[in-house]
């Protein structure tokens, strides 16, 4: 006799009408993309909390993938705290044409769409409630003329609220990259992001620990300013095999503040990039 159905498809491998209905419901929530665009892979970059350098990691991943020859774009989904244009030194406003909203373009050819590119003054606050912000995310997906893009990176706001849920349900997300820092409290919060991805059926392609250590420029010794890393422990607990560590590096901070993030090259993210390529 078969076991009684719990109606929790995430814990069951049986083929049944309930599973088919759940999958159909998920697909029904998807929003059709811009008809003049072709986006092959959507990669969301998430964090459990703010202040861990998620936007910087998003920018560095996009730049590195561009150097590998891919056609790359970034959707800045942090509507109330957009920072992607600043990192690339992009300030011109987005324009509209028949095919849709034309995204801005960086020096190396990365396409950008951000709320800051639509405001008269980029310092103006966006005082909107969750449903309106979710609607803007959907508009960025269906009304922006992305063109032919191999990788669209979505820079998400921190946490597991309205915007991440909208992205997971509305866009065909191929996987997520989680950004964290070494503090134990952050690790606990990151687990919430991992579990949300599991609940939404989205694979975790890698975990990046930012501000992992500081390397002395004189002696080369590594100092773990925020405590010893527990990255491998956290990743192993959730079956995540791809990890990367980024140091505290004043050069990266200066480049980001100066709008020159494209000038930073590193091989520390190679494992994550390869995981994204396989997704």
The string of pLDDT tens digits covering residues 211-236 is 999 998 889 899 999 888 888 888 88
- 10 Å CB burial of residue 185 (0-12, 13-18, 19+) is exposed
Separation of alpha carbons 128 and 135, rounded Å? 11
Q: How many CB atoms lie within 10 A of CB 124?
A: 10
Q: Which 8-state DSSP code applies to residue 51?
A: S
> Which run of H or of E encompasses 279?
none
Q: Which 8-state DSSP code applies to residue 157?
A: P
pLDDT band at 8 (very low <50, low <70, confident <90, very high): very low
Mean pLDDT on 83-104: 92
CB 79 within 8 A of CB 115: yes
pLDDT band at 7 (very low <50, low <70, confident <90, very high): very low
CATH of domain 38-278: 3.40.50.300
- 10 Å CB burial of residue 13 (0-12, 13-18, 19+) is exposed
The beta-strand segments (E) located in 47-191 are: 72-76, 95-97, 100-102, 104-105, 111-113, 148-155, 173-180
pLDDT score recorded for residue 14 = 57
Can you give the C-alpha Rg of the chain in angstroms? 19
CB 85 within 8 A of CB 114: yes
pLDDT score recorded for residue 1 = 41
- 10 Å CB burial of residue 272 (0-12, 13-18, 19+) is buried
Task: Provide the whole-model pTM.
Answer: 0.87
**Of all residues in the chain, what percent carry a pLDDT higher than 90?**
57
Q: What rounded mean pLDDT belongs to the chain?
A: 87
């Amino acid at each position: 006799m078969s076991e009684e159905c719990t109606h929790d498809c995430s814990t069951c491998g049986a083929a049944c009408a309930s599973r088919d209905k759940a999958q159909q419901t998920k697909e029904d929530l998807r929003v059709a993309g811009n008809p003049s665009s072709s986006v092959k892979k959507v990669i969301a970059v998430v964090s459990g909390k703010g202040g861990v350098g998620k936007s910087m990691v998003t920018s560095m991943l996009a730049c590195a993938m561009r150097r590998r020859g891919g056609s790359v774009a970034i959707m800045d989904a942090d509507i109330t705290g957009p920072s992607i244009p600043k990192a690339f030194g992009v300030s011109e406003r987005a324009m509209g044409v028949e095919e849709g909203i034309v995204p801005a373009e960086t020096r190396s050819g990365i396409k950008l769409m951000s709320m800051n590119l639509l405001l008269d003054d980029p310092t103006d606050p966006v005082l909107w409630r969750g449903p309106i912000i979710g609607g803007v995310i959907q508009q960025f997906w269906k009304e922006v003329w992305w063109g032919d893009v191999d990788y669209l990176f979505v820079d998400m706001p921190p946490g597991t609220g309205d915007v991440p849920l909208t992205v997971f349900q509305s866009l065909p997300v191929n996987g997520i990259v989680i950004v964290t820092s070494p503090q134990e409290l952050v690790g606990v919060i990151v687990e919430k992001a991992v579990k949300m991805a599991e609940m939404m059926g989205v694979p975790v392609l890698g975990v990046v620990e930012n501000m992992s250590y500081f390397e002395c420029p004189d002696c080369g010794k590594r100092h773990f300013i925020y405590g010893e890393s527990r990255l491998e422990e956290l990743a192993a607990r959730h079956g995540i095999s791809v990890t990367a560590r980024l140091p505290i590096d004043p050069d990266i901070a200066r480049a980001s503040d100066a709008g020159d993030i494209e000038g930073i090259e590193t091989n520390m993210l190679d494992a994550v990039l390869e995981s994204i390529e396989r997704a």
